Amino acid sequence: MTAKWVRGYSQDLLCGRLEKAKAVDGNGNASFQGFEFTSNVAVLNSMISLGSTIPELEKKRIISNAAFNAAGIGVVTPDSLLYEIDKLEKQYLKETPKRYILVTSLSVGRFSKIRRQSINGCILTFRPDIPKHFSKEATKIEKQASYSICGELPQDYLVAKIAVTGKSSSEAADRAIDAIDLFRGIWNLFYNRKHVYRISSGSREPVNKIVLGPLHTLHFPTAKLATESWWYEPDYTGPLKTLDPSKEIESFYGFQKRVRESLCKSPFRPFLESAIIRYTRALDLRDWNNAFLNLWTLLETLTNTGENDTHKVTVRRTSFMYQDREYVRQILTHLRDYRNRAVHTGTGNEDIETLMFQLKNFVETALEFLVANKFGLKNLGEVAQFLDLPDEKTVLTDRSRLIKSALKFTQK
């Protein structure tokens, strides 16, 4: 059984609430009275762990359906609920993957020539307009989707189609959006690393030059809508000025090639791909304070800072990547202190754009350090050990001498 209860919660309490609210008709079909059920399913989503390959939307569906099944069969208990969840999870995992196409857009000039891309089983193609048969299907939900989108739709964004497979529409959409965000992460890193600071005026804009359009629709290869659900960007407030990559296109592709080759060789490729996705999503945000907090959390991840470690560990390990370590520590300490104030008191800072760019620069250094992996580190544990080494040459030399002596001694 892969479904498990997470420690720290009262299983009996939640199951008791479900049992109390249920009603079962003569055919054994269960229902739940009142408005508490939705809230309880949300809590159960945190209380129960499933296999890592189960998308969040699918997990919520499984838990919700399992609650109805358990209630219809008998008393809702931790064991009966977990049994039904495990059964539905196994059914899902046995599903044969289907082919889908996710249609979205990018803040790149619509007539830009971007090569076809392929990664992690997804194929990305780009074109000036949505094909008519896909557009016709998408219009069926555009009016309803428009209530979720703040701002007018872009007219000059580049259209992206992502061919993907998945056991469900939610899994397919998750995989497709991860694939395009991974490429966007690499592309935005190419542009962002050139800018160590920025001073803006007027409305706040994302750091990223390449962001997703506001609406994503999922189709079968025939163009027919695969689901009446849609995916959208909640931070969207209107179109950005589109990027013209033509002037730097060869450097653009050269950088992408080097990063992808390094990722393919990396012993921690999934970790790095996830980090690149998180990097680009953080810098998509127009709320710079949230972008800052997301970047700090990412820096903790990149430096393998554990849950029980203090922020001093993040500062120390990040500064080890620099020559001027003491100066870097001062900046990181000031960023750490701002992060703590922002989290615990909810206060902002009028210099938040500067703070965000300072932190962005450190995250980019850590990403490039791990992607390049020039020292052949084999796992994240070795990364932490390497970054925890003393930064004084004499201390390292003495330690190296002692280690060589110990090796000679043990070989006797």
Over residues 199-248, the pLDDT tens digits come to 888 789 999 999 999 999 999 999 999 998 889 998 899 999 999 999 89
DSSP 310: -
Contact (Cβ atoms closer than 8 angstroms) between residue 2 and residue 82:
no
Of 32-36, 207-211, 224-228, 277-281, the least confident: 32-36
* Predicted model pTM: 0.90
Q: How far apart are CA 49 and CA 37, in angstroms?
A: 19
Coil, strand or helix: which one is 103? strand
Distance CA 68, CA 19 (A): 10
Ramachandran quadrant class, 398 (left: phi over 0; alpha: psi -120 to 50; beta: rest): alpha
The pLDDT of residue 348 is above 80: no
The secondary structure of the chain in percent helix, strand, coil, rounded to multiples of 5, reads 55, 10, 35
Residue 391: band (very low, low, confident or very high) from pLDDT cuts 50, 70, 90: confident
pLDDT at residue 163, rounded to an integer: 98
pLDDT tens-digit map of 70-116: 999 999 999 999 999 999 999 998 999 999 999 999 999 999 999 99
Which residue, 56, 42, 94, is CA-closest to 231?
Answer: 56
Asked if residue 346 has pLDDT above 70, the reply is: no
Which residues, 6 or more positions from 161, have their beta carbon under 8 angstroms from its beta carbon?
101, 102, 103, 124, 125, 126, 127, 134
Mean of pLDDT values over 171-178: 95
Beta-carbon contacts of residue 61 (< 8 Å; ≥ 6 apart): 170
Question: Contact, 49 vs 6, CB < 8 A?
Answer: yes
